[in-house]
């Protein structure tokens, strides 16, 4: 064999060896289920760019409603154990309340009230329900139950109705011009001197906290806090609010109300507002109450209201 022929044979052998090696590698990778195009696809994003891949991008999404529920933030510190919350499910028994989209108010106000009871008990509050079944209650029965207790709050749960089916949202009511009996009790509770004007805006503050947190947790349309003279509000000695938790006349809101997940969120929002309010009270027992002994007492026939005096006949 001549020298050039030997060189050519050696080059050919090297090529064959390389080819065989390449063939073996492809087979090994294929046996492991790895294909060249996949390997490249995996490597390229890392080699060419630091931007997240499409699959990474899909994991960056807004939390769904279920996630919000699952993602329980740490709860605020629990209130003193003696604190009692009266939860009043609106209507009941002979009084069905309003209705729309197949929902009867008395049934769903009770379901929301029960969710609220559960949430509050978990936070360490004592809870008393004005009804926990389909009972007929007079409005005075509700405030009598509430006023038996001291050191408490009253939250009344209702559902709303509008002739316009597009109307939706949540609103929280309070009333500052309590009945004379209630005013006397509040004066006694805060040891206000005879005749010293006393202003009590606790219910408005409670309404503010409840409304803000219930909107934050549910994402419902914010119809704000409103002052309105409901019987249970003007006759409750304790700070009291009435939450209209949504419109049964609005199809979407009615669909939300029948799901237990949404009711838990309503409950969580209301309970957050109550807890925030009570934490303020814990820091300052006079929170929301002002007694001004230097001011003159209310003239005869008038009573003190937040912005001055008002005739007794207007507030009864
Ligand atoms: Zn109602």
Most confident of 33-37, 143-147, 201-205: 201-205
Which tops the pLDDT comparison, 300 or 240?
240
> Residue 129 pairs with which residues in a beta bridge?
87
Structure tokens at 93: 């028994």
Distance CA 146, CA 153 (A): 8
Structure tokens at 124: 């360490």
Burial of 22 (0-12, 13-18, 19+ CB in 10 A): exposed
195 Rama sector, left if φ>0, alpha if ψ -120 to 50, beta otherwise: left
For residue 194, the model assigns a pLDDT of 74
How far apart are the two ends of the chain, measured CA to CA in Å? 126
For residue 73, the model assigns a pLDDT of 54
Cα torsion for 95, 98, 104, 109, to the nearest 10°? -80
Cβ atoms of residues 112 and 266 within 8 Å: yes
Predicted confidence (pLDDT) at residue 79 exceeds the cutoff of 70: no
User: pLDDT, tens digit, for every residue of 257-298?
Assistant: 999 999 999 999 999 999 999 999 988 989 999 887 765 666
Put simply, whether the predicted model's pTM sits higher than 0.75 gets the answer no
> Residue 104 pairs with which residues in a beta bridge?
99
* CA of residue 67 to ligand 1 center, whole Å: 31
Kindly list the catalytic residues.
244
Cβ atoms of residues 211 and 273 within 8 Å: yes
* CA of residue 111 to ligand 1 center, whole Å: 14
* CA of residue 84 to ligand 1 center, whole Å: 23
Residue ranges per domain, the chain?
Answer: 82-315
> Residue 267 pairs with which residues in a beta bridge?
none
User: pLDDT, tens digit, for every residue of 176-188?
Assistant: 987 778 888 888 8
Residue 99: its H or E element: strand 99-100
Which tops the pLDDT comparison, 62 or 81?
81
Q: Which CATH number fits domain 82-315: 3.10.580.10, 3.40.630.40, 3.40.1190.20, 3.40.50.80?
A: 3.40.630.40
Instruction: Locate all alpha helices (DSSP H) within the chain, ordered by sequence.
Output: 3-31, 36-48, 54-59, 65-70, 105-122, 139-147, 180-189, 202-218, 231-234, 251-257, 260-283, 312-315
* CA of residue 235 to ligand 1 center, whole Å: 17
* CA of residue 222 to ligand 1 center, whole Å: 18
| CA distance to 69, 145, 176, 265, 268, per residue, from 72 (Å) | 6, 33, 34, 11, 10
* CA of residue 163 to ligand 1 center, whole Å: 15
* CA of residue 245 to ligand 1 center, whole Å: 10
């Amino acid at each position: 064999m001549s020298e050039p022929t030997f060189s050519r044979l050696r080059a050919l052998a090297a090529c064959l060896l390389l080819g065989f090696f390449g063939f073996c590698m492809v087979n090994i990778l294929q046996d492991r289920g790895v294909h060249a195009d996949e390997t490249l696809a995996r490597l390229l994003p890392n080699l060419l760019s630091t931007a997240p891949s499409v699959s990474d991008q899909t994991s960056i999404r807004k939390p769904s409603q279920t996630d919000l529920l699952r993602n329980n933030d740490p709860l605020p510190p629990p209130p003193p154990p003696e604190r009692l919350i009266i939860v009043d499910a609106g209507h009941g028994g002979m009084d069905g309340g309003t209705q729309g989209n197949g929902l009867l108010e008395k049934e769903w106000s009770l379901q929301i009230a029960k969710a609220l009871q559960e949430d509050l008990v978990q936070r360490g509050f004592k809870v008393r329900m004005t009804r926990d079944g389909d009972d007929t209650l007079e409005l005075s029965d509700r405030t009598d139950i509430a006023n038996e207790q001291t050191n408490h709050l009253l939250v009344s749960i209702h559902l709303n109705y509008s002739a316009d089916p597009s109307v939706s949202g949540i609103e929280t009511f309070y009333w500052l011009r309590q009945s004379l009996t209630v005013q006397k009790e509040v004066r006694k509770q805060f040891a206000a001197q005879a005749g010293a004007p006393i202003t009590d805006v606790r219910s408005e503050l409670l309404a503010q906290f409840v409304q803000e947190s219930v909107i934050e947790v549910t994402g419902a349309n914010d119809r704000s806090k409103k002052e309105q003279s409901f019987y249970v509000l003007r006759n409750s000695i304790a700070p009291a609010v009435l939450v209209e938790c949504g419109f049964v006349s609005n199809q979407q809101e009615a669909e939300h109300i029948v799901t237990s997940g949404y009711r838990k969120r309503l409950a969580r929002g209301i309970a957050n507002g109550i807890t925030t309010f009570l934490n303020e009270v814990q820091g300052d027992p006079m929170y929301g109450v002002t007694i001004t002994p230097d001011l003159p007492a209310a003239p005869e026939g008038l009573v003190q209201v937040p912005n001055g005096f008002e005739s007794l006949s207007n507030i009864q």
